[in-house]
Amino acid sequence: MKIGLVCYPTYGGSGVVATELGKQFASQGHEVHFISYARPVRLSSFVENIYFHEVEMNSYPLFKYQSYGLSLTSKMLEVIEYEQLDLIHGHYAIPHAVSAYLTKQILRKNHVDIKIITTLHGTDITLVGLDPSFLPLLKFSIEESDGVTAVSEFLKQKTLMNYHIDKEIEVIHNFVDTEQFKPIENERFRHHIAPNNERILIHTSNFRELKRVPDIIRILDLVKKVLPAKLVLIGDGPDRSECERLTRELHLQKDVIFLGKQDGLPELLSAADIFLMPSQSESFGLAALEAMACGVPVVSSSVGGLPELNIHNQTGFIAEIGDIEIMAKYTLQLLQNEKRYTIFSQNARERAAQHFDTRIVVPRYLDYYEKVLSGNKQDTMYRLSY
């Protein structure tokens, strides 16, 4: 199968899922073509059967703002023609589903039928798409897709309710490679971060407001009143400066380590004791899943798809948004009870492996592809005339 994957190349969950999905497809012999404005961050080295096509942005004095959506459409048309793709799978609805619809209509006039699948990841539905200027366009492009998936049951129901979508939506959860993300001994890093055997809290994100990273710093402040602890923050984004200011205000600058964007996440996650995710919006929680696969219990908010992943009082704890006192209490309950912590750690790893492993989830995508492709088979011509 020849698959086109369209995604944002950044550290966000949609780009990570698309990249890992493509790598899994490629390992099974499928030909994968990534289409984006930059190489995805998790595609940093050569992978057999994977090709990258950069969307070129041309600047014209007439245009005040560049139109990525139109440039993306042109690149899709080019790749479909010359690589003879079977389908295009867009991750994150805006602008990928819209560009894919334009691509499909242009191809139809040249007697070419290309199947379009759109995967909804979260803020494309719960935040961006609810903007009045986007809502009608988003609803239309989703309904015109040949197939639609969502990364959680929460997100599916939110889409149906907010947009009154007349379309079947398949729930296919996010996934993790549990052979890569697994408990790994990393005493060197742990000793570097916590030389006096302090407990280590950790968080990874893009530091946007909805991630509520300042809450994590305040949770550390409460935990430190009871026992020695450090906080490792991985990632970068618009709220980082505010977080650095808060650490100085609370006199925690020696206890909060900002590592910025990092590779080698399994080793870093495995060195931690607790993963914190107090988000105000989270369609699934891929970062939490990766931590769970490394045997790290999760203390999270109860929003969105997180309860589908993090089982309260089994793999970690969930609390109401902004309730840093109860999150700190839950964190301490685990850190002060070794037997309970060990059980939660094992439960977290087992849940990741038994329900969200790549070997379980990726075949569901391939089955869905086959379902969409067999729904309306037509002879296609790949040499186009414009």
Q: Which tens digits make up the pLDDT trace of 353-365?
A: 999 999 999 999 9
Domain with residues 187-355, CATH architecture: 3-Layer(aba) Sandwich (3.40)
Cis ω for the linkage preceding 61 (within 30 of 0): no
- CB 144 within 8 Å of CB 115: no
Burial call 288-316: b when 16+ CB within 10 Å, e when fewer: bbbbbbbbbbbbbbebbbbbbbbbeeebb
Helix (H, G, I), strand (E, B) or coil at 318: strand
Cα gap 204→262, rounded to integer Å: 10
pTM equals: 0.88
- pLDDT score, position 11: 66
Sign of torsion over alpha carbons 332, 337, 340, 345:
positive
Cα gap 161→156, rounded to integer Å: 9
DSSP state of 209: G
Burial class from Cβ neighbours inside 10 Å (0-12, 13-18, 19+) for residue 148 reads buried
- pLDDT score, position 378: 41
How is the chain split into domains, by residue range?
2-175+358-374, 187-355
- pLDDT score, position 25: 95
Written as one letter, the residue type at 255 is D
For the domain made up of 2-175+358-374, give the CATH fold: Rossmann fold (3.40.50)
Ranges under pLDDT 70 in the chain? 11, 59-66, 126-133, 376-386
Burial class from Cβ neighbours inside 10 Å (0-12, 13-18, 19+) for residue 279 reads buried
Phi and psi, residue 152, nearest 5°:
-160, 160
Q: Which two tokens stand for residue 108?
A: 């139809």
- pLDDT score, position 133: 66
Written as one letter, the residue type at 13 is G
Cα gap 183→179, rounded to integer Å: 10
Hunting for tokens 């005493």 — which residue is that?
187
299 closest CA partner among 259, 332, 338 = 332
Q: Which two tokens stand for residue 138?
A: 């988003």
- pLDDT score, position 129: 46
Q: Which two tokens stand for residue 191?
A: 């000793």
Phi and psi, residue 31, nearest 5°:
-95, 125
pLDDT digits (tens, 9 = 90+) for 125-155: 766 545 666 788 888 889 999 999 999 999 9
Mark residue 165 as left, alpha or beta (left: phi above 0; alpha: psi -120 to 50; beta: remaining).
Answer: beta
Residue 120: strand pairing partners: 150
Cα gap 92→102, rounded to integer Å: 16
Phi and psi, residue 268, nearest 5°:
-70, -45
- CB 312 within 8 Å of CB 330: no
- pLDDT score, position 384: 34
- pLDDT score, position 61: 62
Cα distances (Å, whole numbers) of residue 278 to 110, 203, 217, 284, 295 = 50, 10, 11, 13, 19
Q: What H or E segment, with its residue span, contains residue 373?
A: helix 358-374
Q: Does this chain's domain 2-175+358-374 share its CATH topology with 187-355?
A: yes
Residue 234: strand pairing partners: 204, 260
List the Cα angle 255/240/65 in 5-degree steps: 170
